[in-house]
Amino acid sequence: MGERIWTAGLVVIGDEILSGRTQDKNVAQLASWLNVQGIRLAEVRVVGDTAAAIGEAVDALRSRCDYCFTTGGIGPTHDDITVDAIAQALGVPVVVHPEARAMLEAHYADRGGITDARLRMARVPQGAELIANAMSGAPGIRFGDLFILAGVPHIAAQMLDSLTGTLEGGLPVVSRTIGCWVAESEVAELLRTVEAAHDGVSIGSYPFFREGKVGANFVVRATDAGVVDGCIVDLTTRIEAQGRTIAPDGI
């Protein structure tokens, strides 16, 4: 192998996630998007709406990953403290970005105009750039390798669209899944053997219980599609040799 692996961390910000009120969707969404960019999501932290928790998590993930993303806390209300918390962690002041202000003025021109609350969404850590967002007037924020996105998943998705193809990454991870109506404990040794026999692959085993019986999906991942295919063939052959039937696209 030896190719460089690019990594990202994600800080999910919001009491609503930690209280169980809101089901996070940004982890899976960002992970899938990153994979296409050739970047691996290495760690996620979910923290509440306090400056200390946000700052600590952002510092930690920035220091260990190539990129750091945050979602949540960039709206107009009192509980939206992400920009202030991050600016404090970065050691820079918060300023109103003139372009963001212009975007918000245009967006709210026929919606009652700009107000102090709306102007909060134009505040950025000094030195930051904006991330366009076709969905609402409020942009995301880029500060070097740190990306501050909205918490509402479809708005975060718009911001990721704007970033597509702009981040340096490595080889995307390729994955293929096969499934079998089998207790994973019955193929555990076989999985271990096959993974060890194919350089650079990882095999994940994900059991489930459906229609009154147990099954499992096996996900083979590697950066080389040929290696993945070879491993899938080997795995399929060995499981079928036990007299079992493989679902070639998973169950």
Query: Contact residues for a copy of itself (CB under 8 A)?
Result: 12, 15-25, 27-32, 35, 40-49, 53, 75-79, 111-112, 115-118, 120-121, 135-136, 152, 154, 173, 175, 183-189, 191-192, 195, 202-209, 219, 221
Say which residues have a Cβ less than 8 Å from residue 207's Cβ, sequence separation at least 6: 183, 184, 214, 215, 216
Instruction: Give 3's DSSP letter.
Output: P
| Amino acid letter, 168 | E
Nearer residue to a copy of itself within complex by CB, 128 or 216: 216
Nearer residue to a copy of itself within complex by CB, 127 or 249: 249
Three-state DSSP class for residue 17: helix
Minimum distance, C-beta of residue 183 to a copy of itself, in the bound complex (Å): 7
Minimum distance, C-beta of residue 69 to a copy of itself, in the bound complex (Å): 13
Report the alpha-carbon distance of residue 251 to residue 244 in Å, rounded: 14
Minimum distance, C-beta of residue 127 to a copy of itself, in the bound complex (Å): 25
The tokens describing 117, both together, are 């609350």
Nearer residue to a copy of itself within complex by CB, 92 or 214: 214
Nearer residue to a copy of itself within complex by CB, 164 or 185: 185
Minimum distance, C-beta of residue 117 to a copy of itself, in the bound complex (Å): 3
Nearer residue to a copy of itself within complex by CB, 31 or 171: 31
Bridge partners of 125, per DSSP, are: 94
Report the alpha-carbon distance of residue 102 to residue 137 in Å, rounded: 9
Report the alpha-carbon distance of residue 163 to residue 156 in Å, rounded: 11
